Amino acid sequence: MKITGRSTIDAPREQVWAALNDIEVLARIVPGCERLEQVGENEFEGTVKIGIQSIKGTYNGKIRLVDIQPPQHYKLIASGRSPSGVVDGAGTVDLEELDGQTILNYAGDAQIGGTLASVGQRLIEGASKQLINQSIKALVEQIKLRNQPPVIEAAEPAAPEPAAALAEEPAAPTPTAIAAEAEQAQPPATPTPPAAAFERRAVVVPAHEQLKPESIVRGVVEDTLRDQPWLPWVIIAFLIGFLLGRAGRR
């Protein structure tokens, strides 16, 4: 299955790239994402739960990033597993800057096995693009939230301080004290900082903040789901490969 597309985002490329590097943002733009975890330097795992008609289940996907060129390009390698079959694929994401906006170009190629392979490719591509467009809209909203000016509360006036008591005139320093102060004034040698260890991070998305995929998919493939109830997993599996991979380097 091949899929390509592009979308214009009304934000500078640096802001879009920064949002795509934020695991908190990514977890909220993947439909049905319950958990997103960075398990390696450029490796991620995600859990997606869907429930369309008779389909209710939890699915897992993995992603690895290569050829990262901030803030404009990376390639991702993804895999997904479910009782209905397997999905393995690769894709690219490219960001172009144009007049203060960002053109997001994406392309992917997935190999589908198991009972999933019998689903019509054109139908899968159409539904996948609609889900991706919905995710991009959610990304735009997250970028707006990230760049809202902070609310500054008016500070209460400080209470006046009491008049300071007159201090006694200090005694003149002795030569010994002067030498000790000079020795203490010497800056210590700066130690070489150790290499930063990888920090494993996980985001669990509350139910009310999850991007629900049910209404999007139902409008596109409602009739087909009666005969092919595994179709939404194909769409979600592609999104795991395409969207979870945008986390980039942290």
Q: And the tokens for 21?
A: 């590097």
DSSP code string of 126-141: HHHHHHHHHHHHHHHH
Q: What pLDDT, on a 0 to 100 scale, did the predictor assign at position 208? A: 78
Q: What range defines the domain where residue 69 resides?
A: 2-147+204-247
Examine residue 78 and state whether it is found in any structural domain, yes or no: yes
Q: What pLDDT, on a 0 to 100 scale, did the predictor assign at position 223? A: 44
Examine residue 234 and state whether it is found in any structural domain, yes or no: yes
Three-state SS at 29:
coil
Examine residue 164 and state whether it is found in any structural domain, yes or no: no
Q: What pLDDT, on a 0 to 100 scale, did the predictor assign at position 52? A: 43
- Alpha helices, H only, 33-164: 121-146
Q: And the tokens for 62?
A: 């993995």
The C-alpha atoms of residue 77 and residue 79 are separated, in whole angstroms, by 7
CB-based contact 143:16 (threshold 8 Å) = yes
Alpha carbon 144 to its chain's center: 15
Q: Which residue has the tokens 């997935």?
A: 110
Examine residue 226 and state whether it is found in any structural domain, yes or no: yes
Q: What pLDDT, on a 0 to 100 scale, did the predictor assign at position 60? A: 84
What's the maximum distance between 2 C-alpha atoms anywhere in the chain? 96
Q: What pLDDT, on a 0 to 100 scale, did the predictor assign at position 250? A: 54
Examine residue 175 and state whether it is found in any structural domain, yes or no: no
Per residue in 211-225, pLDDT (tens digit) is 776 555 554 445 444
Three-state SS at 26:
helix
Domain count, the chain: 1
Examine residue 179 and state whether it is found in any structural domain, yes or no: no
User: Which contiguous run of DSSP H or E holds residue 194?
Assistant: none
Q: For 225, left (φ over 0), alpha (ψ -120 to 50), or beta?
A: alpha
Examine residue 177 and state whether it is found in any structural domain, yes or no: no
Question: Which parts of the chain register pLDDT below 70?
Answer: 50-57, 82, 84-85, 114-127, 151, 153-198, 213-250
Q: What pLDDT, on a 0 to 100 scale, did the predictor assign at position 55? A: 37
**pTM of whole model > 0.75?**
no
CB-based contact 92:107 (threshold 8 Å) = yes
Examine residue 190 and state whether it is found in any structural domain, yes or no: no
- CATH code (residue 220): 3.30.530.20
